[in-house]
């Protein structure tokens, strides 16, 4: 009897979870999983495809980085839907429908490798985005690239400098592997140079002291380390380097500690928005007087709404996209129509990189790496919503002026809009002093 009750409760739980699925929205539009060939945009009736190009993708759809992984997937699904709606990829007068097959890496290297092997060996995808976000998984998957020389591998994000270093160790071996994102040294440069600019503009206290409050992940630590290195080379002193588990929401002890040390600038980096919201609110509550520079969490949906006026004046990076531009507003509307979620930076990255790949396939006239796609993708100069994608000699996207935008912005007094304050060439508003 007891066992029957437990089984019944388990079934009820499953049904509840399935019922919470957002796949079917109230307005009747159905978002189908792309791996069953779903295409939410109805292609024109007259389009008939001559073939299929299978595109694989492996990303963290569960685990600590799931929020970003799912967002990247949403951007990729939109790109696939739009290409199919306009007739697919055209090669040699033929139209090829794009089929996106997605697998979960769970954020673990061995699972990412298994998922990638499955897509390549069993599903026989023609092109693969693996792994999309997590640097340790990317490093593990990189070693599959030489085993599948006909397939182009691309990441969406992933900032570890270990990736271009591994490429540089044997460029021929990894010739079909690409990292479509900058590295943490670019992040570090933006944070450090932005911090020095703010000091020059009188936005911070005069002492060259900095503290870091970071999440204990590759993303948090590598970005923090990169910024610390450049600041130290310019005479700055790190007074504290605080690390918390990813997803932590209690920063009171770190904030009280920093209050005692009184740095001029505190650099904080969290991927989960909940951590960013908690940190901002707690800093505001305690009334800390340092200048905050945030990395990535202000880009997440819900941050401005949940922090309210507490986030006004916050400096943050990366502003890769101008969320007020007509292009981004249009993109946001399309993402909302397809997935019923607000726009985030990871969706834009997923969208841009996927479009860049499809454009390269059309330009090369092939999806095979050895028959020209590697060279075509390598030679990409793609103008996306994030900026201009160009790969350097280590197959790593370049960040900076004229390339991918990596600017420092400030949340304005209305606590809702952000404007670029650095670099000056892209400046949309003068910085003002945080409270």
Partner 1 sequence: MQPGFIVCLLFFGLLAIFPLIIRESYILHVGILCMMYSCYTSSWNLVSGFAGIFGLGFQALAGVGGYVSALLVINRGISPWIGIFIGAFCSMIIGAFFSIPSLKMKEMPYIAISSMCLGEVVRLIVANTPEVTRGEMGLSGMQDFPNIGPLSFSGGNRTSYWYLILVFLILYVTIVNHIVKSPLGRAMNAIRDSQSAAASLGVNVTKTKITIYLISSFMMGVIGGFYAHYMQVLTPSSVLGPLTMTLIVAMVLVGGNATIAGPIIGAFALTITTEFLRIFGDYRLVAYGVIIVLSVIFLPQGIWGTLRLKILPYLNKKSEKSITT
**Chain contacts with partner 1 (rule: CB under 8 A):** 3, 6-7, 10, 14, 17-18, 21, 33, 35, 61-62, 64, 103-104, 107-111, 113-115, 117-118, 120-122, 135-136, 139-140, 143-144, 146-147, 160-162, 166, 216-218, 220-222, 225, 243
**CA angle, 259 then 265 then 271, to 5°:** 95
Nearer to partner 1, 54 or 208 (CB): 54
Pairing of strands 209-215, 127-130: unpaired
Q: Which helix (H) or strand (E) holds 108?
A: none
Q: Identify the bridge partners of residue 391 per DSSP, sorted by sequence position.
A: 397
Nearer to partner 1, 6 or 416 (CB): 6
CA distances from 163 to 112, 158, 167, 226, 333 (A): 16, 9, 6, 15, 34
Nearer to partner 1, 204 or 223 (CB): 223
Q: Under DSSP, is residue 366 helix (H, G, I), strand (E, B) or coil?
A: coil
Q: How far is the CB of 214 from partner 1 (least distance, A)?
A: 10
Q: 362: exposed, middle or buried (C-beta count within 10 Å: 0-12, 13-18, 19+)?
A: middle
Q: How far is the CB of 1 from partner 1 (least distance, A)?
A: 13
Q: Identify the bridge partners of residue 266 per DSSP, sorted by sequence position.
A: 211, 292
Nearer to partner 1, 117 or 362 (CB): 117
Nearer to partner 1, 171 or 202 (CB): 171
Q: How far is the CB of 135 from partner 1 (least distance, A)?
A: 6
Q: 405: exposed, middle or buried (C-beta count within 10 Å: 0-12, 13-18, 19+)?
A: buried
Nearer to partner 1, 269 or 364 (CB): 269
Residue located via tokens 């980085």: 65
Cβ neighbours around 215 below 10 Å, total: 27
Q: How far is the CB of 249 from partner 1 (least distance, A)?
A: 18
Q: How far apart are CA 58 and CA 112, in angstroms?
A: 7
Q: 219: exposed, middle or buried (C-beta count within 10 Å: 0-12, 13-18, 19+)?
A: buried
Q: How far is the CB of 363 from partner 1 (least distance, A)?
A: 30
Let me know: does 46 contact 320? Beta carbons within 8 Å.
no
Q: How far is the CB of 136 from partner 1 (least distance, A)?
A: 4
Q: Which helix (H) or strand (E) holds 115?
A: helix 109-117
Q: How far is the CB of 352 from partner 1 (least distance, A)?
A: 24
Q: How far is the CB of 246 from partner 1 (least distance, A)?
A: 8
Nearer to partner 1, 171 or 402 (CB): 171
Nearer to partner 1, 67 or 207 (CB): 67
Q: How many CA atoms lie within 13 A of 123 on its CB side?
A: 26
């Amino acid at each position: 009897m007891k066992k029957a009750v437990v089984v019944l409760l388990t079934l009820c739980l499953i049904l509840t979870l399935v019922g919470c699925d957002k796949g079917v929205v109230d307005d009747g539009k159905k978002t189908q999983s792309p791996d069953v060939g779903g295409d939410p945009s109805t292609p024109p009736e007259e389009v008939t495809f001559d073939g299929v190009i299978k595109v694989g993708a492996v990303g963290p759809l569960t685990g600590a980085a799931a929020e970003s992984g799912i967002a990247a997937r949403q951007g990729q699904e939109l790109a696939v839907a739009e290409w199919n709606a306009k007739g697919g990829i055209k090669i040699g007068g033929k139209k090829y429908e794009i089929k996106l097959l997605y697998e979960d890496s769970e954020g673990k290297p061995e699972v990412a490798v298994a998922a990638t092997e499955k897509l390549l060996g069993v599903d026989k995808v023609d092109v693969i985005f693996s792994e999309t976000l997590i640097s340790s998984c990317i490093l593990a998957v990189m070693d599959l690239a030489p085993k599948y020389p006909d397939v182009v591998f691309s990441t969406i994000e992933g900032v570890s400098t270990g990736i271009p270093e591994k490429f540089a160790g044997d460029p021929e071996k990894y010739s079909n592997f690409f990292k479509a994102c900058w590295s943490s040294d670019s992040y570090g440069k933006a944070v450090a140079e932005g911090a020095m600019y703010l000091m020059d503009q009188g936005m911070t206290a005069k002492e060259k002291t900095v503290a870091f409050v970071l999440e204990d992940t590759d993303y948090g630590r590598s970005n923090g380390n990169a910024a610390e290195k450049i600041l130290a080379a310019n005479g700055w002193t790190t007074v504290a380097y605080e690390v918390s588990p990813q997803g932590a929401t209690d920063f009171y002890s770190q904030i009280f500690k920093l209050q005692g040390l009184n740095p001029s600038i505190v650099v904080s980096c969290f991927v989960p928005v909940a951590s960013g919201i908690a940190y901002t609110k707690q800093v505001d509550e305690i009334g800390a007087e340092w200048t905050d520079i945030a990395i990535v969490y202000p880009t997440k949906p819900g941050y401005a709404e949940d922090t309210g006026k507490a986030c006004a004046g916050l400096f943050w990076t990366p502003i890769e996209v101008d969320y007020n531009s007509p292009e981004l507003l249009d993109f946001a509307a399309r993402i909302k129509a397809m997935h019923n979620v607000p726009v985030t930076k990871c969706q834009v990255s997923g969208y841009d990189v996927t479009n860049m790949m499809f454009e390269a396939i059309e330009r090369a006239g092939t999806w095979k790496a050895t028959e020209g796609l590697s060279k075509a993708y390598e030679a990409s100069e793609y103008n996306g919503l994030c900026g201009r994608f160009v790969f350097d000699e280590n197959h790593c996207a370049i960040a900076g002026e004229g390339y991918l935008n990596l600017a420092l912005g400030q949340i304005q007094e209305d606590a809702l809009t952000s404007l670029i304050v650095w670099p000056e060439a892209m400046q949309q508003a003068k910085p003002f002093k945080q409270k």
